[in-house]
Amino acid sequence: MSDERTQQMPTLEKESTTGGGGNDLEQATSAAAYDPGGPREAGGRAGRFWSLRRVPAGIVALLLLAAAGLLLYDVAAVRAGEPAMAWRRTLADELATTAVNDTKILAAASLVTLLGVWLISLAVTPGKRGLLQMRREHAVVRAGLERSAAGLVLRDRAMQVSGVQSVRVAVGRRKVRAHARAHFRDLHEVRGDLDSALGDGIRQLGLARQPGLSVHVRRPKKG
Amino acid sequence: MGGTLRAVNRVLLALTGLLLLALGLSVLVGGFDLPRRWNFSMPADWPWTAPQDVLLSDADRTQGRSESWWWPVVLAVLGVLVILLLWWLLAQLRRRRLGEVLVESGDGEGALLRGRALENVLEAEAAALPGVDKAAVRLAGRRSSPQAVVSLLLKPHAAPGPVLSRLTDEALEHARGSVALEQLPAEVQLRTAKHRPERVI
């Protein structure tokens, strides 16, 4: 119910501003758009989505499998009386003759260290940064909205504000930034309307944590 | 939804990372001659303590060869490793899909419903919601306690919050009721197809 009421607001307001030309009263209503939406949390805290890490796990598994498989094959071949493959001799020679302060070894060791740190960070961070968790209304239903989708929804909202020629909406994990170009109407009025339209839009995204909003309006470049 | 695979992947990635980190750091410690410079000593049989040490000397590499158990053990360890890695790799490629759902009638009788049928019904009902362009549903979990993985493609100008409310209250609720489940856990992802901005005025 409350959703339908808020859905109506921008159109009502747009009509009044395009008709009346906008005054201080209009600005006041747009500032009120920062009110948080009515909390309907019934399902408790919405946690982050934790990625399965399929791709890195697959790559690591594939590389390790190739190395172990090759070594197994060659060891077994040598046991069966075949000559060892050339790479094994070269590798053994290299390992036995290169000192650890060799530049190549130091570079490789640094790389291996960084790779280790990276794998550990992949293992302990949630990932899925492109997915914003949505408010939980049911304990068993978890939902996430892609950041790009949120950006498109908000962009469509912003394009409905009269005077807006083009708009770029960047949705971060904590903040929504909108950069609009207005080719007519007072910039302050456009900004006020954008504030309220995007504020409404953000509430309708149904996110667990309402992101902040910053709106910038400029005139289009001449020329 | 894939909780076991997630845990396995993350533990094995962390383990691999720790091994690489330890290997890289210990070679770096030897290579930059840190034990001498910073006045600490490594354990007695530590391979890399001075810059002139080699990565793997012939003596170290061949030290186990004289033992009779050496080669069988090497082969066995490598074989087990290959099998485990193969299992780990295949687990990434496989997507579990629930074949059938158990419908309890309440009086001890039960019926099996094809998972695909429930998926199709859920998809159709979700796709019919206003603001939804396409819906894809996959059932996971066990047949007595299925879970739905829902992916929605929203139309332009859809409001994600209300769409999710209606999906939960209608499509998911109907599906839960029709298979007589206590609850139907679901994971929903909402996306939007890229489209050009359209001017209203």
Angstrom distance (rounded) from CA A169 to CA A131 = 16
B39 touches A: beta carbon within 8 Å: no
Q: Can you give the pLDDT of all 223 residues of chain A as single tens digits?
A: 344 444 434 443 333 333 333 343 333 334 344 444 444 445 566 688 899 999 999 999 999 999 999 999 999 998 888 888 888 888 888 888 888 888 898 999 999 999 999 999 999 999 999 999 999 888 889 999 999 999 999 999 999 999 898 999 999 999 999 999 998 889 999 999 999 999 999 998 999 999 999 999 999 887 5
Dig out the tokens for A149 from the structure: 């989708």
Q: Is B41 on the interface with A (CB under 8 A)?
A: no
Answer whether A23 touches B (CB < 8 Å): no
Q: B16, A167: Cβ pair inside 8 Å?
A: no
Q: Which pair of tokens denotes residue B134? A: 């396409």
Q: Give chain A's largest Cα–Cα span.
A: 95
**Residues in B 94-153 with any Cβ partner in A closer than 8 A:** none
Of A92, A112, A150, the CB nearest to B61: A92
Under 8 Å CB pairs connecting chains A and B tally to 254
Secondary structure (DSSP) of B98-156: --EEEEE-SSS-EEEEEHHHHHHHHHHHHHTSTTEEEEEEEEEEETTEEEEEEEEEEPT
Cβ–Cβ below 8 Å for B82 and A68: yes
**Do B6 and A52 touch, CB atoms closer than 8 A?**
yes
DSSP for chain A reads -HHHHHHHHHHHHHHHHHHH---HHHHHHHHGGGSPPPP---S---PPPPP--HHHHHHHHHHHHHHHHHHHHHHHHHHTTPPPPHHHHHHHHHHHH-BTTSHHHHHHHHHHHHHHHHHHHHHHS---TTEEEBPPSSTTEEEEEEHHHHHHHHHHHHHTSTTEEEEEEEE-SSEEEEEEEESSS-HHHHHHHHHHHHHHHHHHTTBSSPPEEEEEEEPPPP-
What 3-state DSSP class applies to B18? Answer: helix
**B113 in the Ramachandran plot: left (φ > 0), alpha (ψ -120 to 50) or beta?**
beta
Quick one: closest CA in B to A153, which residue? Answer: B157
Between chains, do A92 and B158 touch, taking CB under 8 Å as contact?
no
Nearest beta carbon to residue B89 from set A58, A94, A206: A58
SS3 B171: helix
The DSSP line for B39-108 is T----TT-S-SSTT-BSS-HHHHHTTTTSTTHHHHHHHHHHHHHHHHHHHHHHHH------EEEEE-SSS
> Count of alpha carbons within 13 Å of A118, Cβ hemisphere only?
10
Domains of chain A: 13-32+131-218 (3.30.70), 54-124 (no CATH)
CB contact under 8 A, A110 and B58: no
The pairing of beta strand B132-142 with beta strand B145-154: antiparallel
Report how far residue B141's alpha carbon sits from residue B186's, in angstroms, rounded to the nearest whole number: 11
User: What is the distance in angstroms between the Cα of A41 and the nearest Cα belonging to chain B?
Assistant: 12
Closest by Cβ to A100, choosing from B31, B168, B185: B31
Which residues of chain A are within 8 Å of residue B184 when distances are taken between CB atoms? Answer: 140
User: What ipTM was reported for this prediction?
Assistant: 0.84
Q: Does B48 reach chain A within 8 Å, measured CB to CB?
A: yes
Do the Cβ atoms of B160 and A150 come within 8 Å? yes
| Residue-by-residue pLDDT tens, chain B, 201 positions | 578 899 999 999 999 999 999 999 999 988 888 888 888 888 777 888 888 888 888 888 888 788 888 889 999 999 999 999 999 999 999 887 888 888 887 777 788 889 899 999 999 999 999 999 999 999 988 888 899 999 999 998 888 999 999 999 999 999 998 888 888 999 999 999 888 887 655
